Amino acid sequence: MAGQGGNSAGLPAEISVQQAYEKYQQGTLLLDVRTQPEWDEYHAPNAILIPLDELPNRLSELPKDAEIVVICRSGNRSAVATDILRQNGFNATSVAGGMNAWRAAGYPVTP
């Protein structure tokens, strides 16, 4: 289950897309863990892409002193990524519904 151990700092393991967008607007780091082809199709402006299968080897690219909101297509991969991040001391939370919910809500995407 996502959120076991690590530096969760009291954050829930998963937040709604509305909560994620509010954090995004405030400058919180949005980490997209989808594949490169999914990213190329569309993504949130200013998000950072690190595909889930690369994440364990690229943890050093992420700040441990900032909150990270993790997103994927539907919320499954982001939950796994959030668990990996928390186990490694990151302050991370997953977006319920992923980019599907993000687009459905009309939030900005870059083709």
Active site residue 72: yes
HSE-CB at 13 with a 13 A cutoff on CA atoms is 18
Neighbour order of strands in the sheet with 91-95: 14-15, 91-95, 67-71, 29-32, 48-49
Q: Phi, psi (5° rounding) for residue 108? A: -65, 140
Alpha-carbon span 43 to 20, nearest angstrom: 14
Active-site residue among 29, 72, 84, 92?
72
According to DSSP, the residues that pair with 8 across neighbouring strands are none
Alpha helices in the chain (DSSP H): 17-25, 36-41, 76-87, 98-104
Q: Which residues are catalytic?
A: 72
